[in-house]
Amino acid sequence: MIGSTLPLLFLDVDGPLIPFGAARQQLPNGYPPYRTGREPQGAGANPLVSRINPAHGPRLLALPCDLVWATTWMSDANECISPWIGLPELPVVVWPEPSNDDERGGLHWKTRTLLDWAAGRSFAWVDDEITDADRAWVEAHHGRALLHRIDPQRGLMDKDFAALDEWLRLRAGHLNG
């Protein structure tokens, strides 16, 4: 990632990768765990990890970007989730203490930190809590970003991967051509 000119993809876990919030009867079979033969093991294994579709790993790796965990899971994402879906160890955004200033302004508490972390690079941010206030602030202070809100009841779906792929390829093409 050092010296890379690819856009970043900041990836949240709860909501985008681990769907939640819908009543079990609202979804076919509730939230069925994925069975792969290599289920998370050990006393610290989080049972929610098995809700993550293991096919998401190869799909994320196929996107023209540098993946970065942007989640409260922090380094646990590399320990629990990366092996489950076949991702390498990824950089992790370290969050500062929350600020009430952002909440009063309607910004998500991650927004300013992600812009600082991007340090001017183009980025996509995948999260279930992105609002219009975040989009407006990022547009005014950065511009080269896609803030893609995921339905937390469904998680990442084909349409989300298609939108990300299109935006990232366009952005990567601008950098390479």
119-167 pLDDT tens trace = 999 999 999 999 999 999 999 999 899 999 999 988 999 999 999 999 9
How many Å apart are CA 42 and CA 107, to the nearest integer? 38
How many Å apart are CA 14 and CA 51, to the nearest integer? 11
Using alpha carbons only, give the angle 70, 38, 65 rounded to the nearest 5 degrees.
30
For 8-176, CATH gives 3.40.50
Which has the closest alpha carbon to 144: 124, 166, 114?
Answer: 124
pLDDT digits (tens, 9 = 90+) for 67-95: 999 999 999 999 989 998 999 999 999 99
Domain ranges for the chain: 8-176
Length of the chain counted residue by residue = 177
pLDDT digits (tens, 9 = 90+) for 37-61: 555 554 356 777 888 889 999 999 9
How many Å apart are CA 18 and CA 104, to the nearest integer? 28
Element at 70 (helix H, strand E): none
User: Global pTM?
Assistant: 0.85
